[in-house]
Structure 1
Amino acid sequence: MRSKPDLTTGELMRLRKSSVVIAAAVAALSLTACEDGVNTGSAASASAEVPSGSSGSASPAATESSGGGDTQASASAPGPAPASASAPASASGGTCRTADLSFSSSGGMAEGEVLINLRNTGSASCSMRGFPGLDLKSEDGTVSAERQSGRPAPTVTLTPGQNTNFSLHFPPNTSGGSGVTFTSAVVTPPNETHSHRMPLSVSTPADSGSGPRITVTPVGSGK
């Protein structure tokens, strides 16, 4: 048999270089295959976790929940206090009540006239409009004053401590006889049901029932 010739040094070196190149190529191919497998798996995983058309923002359910929270906070936030509709009538210029008035009398502008003064003793303003009720009382009975016709009735507003009045007209006793002497008057302010009794001395002729009438003017028109 023919024996194989021995390789020269140069041939051995070329063979070794070829082996190194082949080994490097094989390693590179293996690394590339591994990297391709990892990338493919990562892309598939991301595709499975993120729905199609999503840009990575919060899901609609999360957005609605956040919006709902804001709505709830807004709904529970206190608004401006409404205005109060249950304020006492006297605090907004309501009707003057008998309990919040004081009563007195003073001389009128002429004989047969007495001014009945009403003063607001309450803590708030009040108003009244119209004719008062007035009954003169004596030992012989009671006479109710009539409304004086043709007199307009103004609206009178009284601040605390302020006064108003009305006039009582009666025929004075000038006959020289005893006549009828009234010693008190029962006054009812307009639009009120409670009365106040006050001392008042008024003397009229005995036959005043057939003569001039006893009358009152509207509140606010006494002078």
Structure 2
Amino acid sequence: MRAARRAAGGGSGRPRGAGGARLAAGLAVGLAATLLTGCGEQAADAPKKVTGEAAPVPGDSSEDTSRKESASPSSSSRARDGDSKESEKEKSGSSGKSEGAGSSGGQGGSGGGAPETGACKTSGLAFSTSPGMAQGTLLVNLENTTATTCTMHGFPGVDLQSAAGSINADRNGLAAPTVRVSPGESTRFTLHYPPNDSGGSGLNVTSLVVTPPDETSSQTLPVSINLPVSDSTESGVTVGPVGAGK
């Protein structure tokens, strides 16, 4: 009887393999639902993208940003600054060389100072005569005809020429100044001689031979001087220093 039921139950009951397949399918559906639920929660927690401009960070305004950008020099500005510094160094170096050359020239006498003056030469002077303020005086004028200033110091040499011979003028003993004569200017000295008051014909002097101080070359000037004739060995003719003529 039991054998007949088992046989009947085995024929009408569900096979075991079909039940196991349904259980596996149910577990798979449950696991998929759990995964979808977790992903949905993570998607809900993720930050959402908002359109528009990003807000600046507190404490870092646009003005601060522009100041920072302007404070940091660009590579081009650094390059220009470097070029300008190099050019300044080159200029300072060239100016230093030029200053050194100028100083060495100054020590050699060719600097930017006034040129040194030398003694007046006979060839650079123009000679003339004019009457003095007192009787028996003659002024001899010496004009600088050169382009540079010259100096004279001392007594000139003066010889009076006549038909009877030559008379040498003596120095009168006055102090001799140093005279600087600029181009185109003149200085002078005074010749003193005794006038002829004797009533006689006297001695006629027709020329003067003048030698400037510290010179050996002379200049002859025509004059008309009448001296008294005397038995004295002294002529009484004297000459003053250059620069003291009156």
- Spell out, residue by residue over 1:77-128, the C-alpha distance to the aligned partner (whole angstroms, 9 max, x if none): 77414234479xxx52110000000111011111110000111011110000
Structure with the bigger percentage of helix: 2
2:240 matched residue in structure 1: 217
The CA deviation at 1:172 is: 0.6
User: Which protein has the larger Cα radius of gyration, Structure 1 or Structure 2?
Assistant: 2
Q: Percent identity?
A: 48
Question: Aligned AA for 2:197?
Answer: T
2:143 matched residue in structure 1: 119
3-state SS of 1:80 partner: helix
- Spell out, residue by residue over 1:129-163, the C-alpha distance to the aligned partner (whole angstroms, 9 max, x if none): 100000000111000100002x1100100100101
Q: 1:138 to 1:173 in 2, by over 3 A?
A: same
Given candidates 128, 132, 141, the residue that maps to 2:152 is 128
Give the distance between the partners of 1:214 and 1:132, measured in 2 at CA: 14
2:201 matched residue in structure 1: 178
Given candidates 185, 192, 210, the residue that maps to 1:162 is 185
3-state SS of 1:92 partner: coil
Kept in 2, the 8 Å contact 1:171–1:208? The answer is no
The CA deviation at 1:209 is: 3.9
Alignment RMSD: 2.3
| Correspondence 1:109 to 2:150 | no
2:171 matched residue in structure 1: 147
Structure 1 unaligned regions, length at least 5: 1-76
3-state SS of 1:222 partner: coil
1:92 matched residue in structure 2: 116
- Spell out, residue by residue over 1:43-87, the C-alpha distance to the aligned partner (whole angstroms, 9 max, x if none): xxxxxxxxxxxxxxxxxxxxxxxxxxxxxxxxxx77414234479
1:191 matched residue in structure 2: 214
Give the distance between the partners of 1:106 and 1:147, measured in 2 at CA: 20
Give the distance between the partners of 1:120 and 1:164, measured in 2 at CA: 9
- Spell out, residue by residue over 1:161-187, the C-alpha distance to the aligned partner (whole angstroms, 9 max, x if none): 101111000111111111101100000
Question: Aligned AA for 1:202?
Answer: I
Give the distance between the partners of 1:200 and 1:219, measured in 2 at CA: 19
Kept in 1, the 8 Å contact 2:188–2:244? The answer is yes
Question: Aligned AA for 2:167?
Answer: V
Give the distance between the partners of 2:231 and 2:224, measured in 1 at CA: 16
- Spell out, residue by residue over 1:193-217, the C-alpha distance to the aligned partner (whole angstroms, 9 max, x if none): 1111111111100117456610000
Structure 2 unaligned regions, length at least 5: 1-96
3-state SS of 2:135 partner: coil
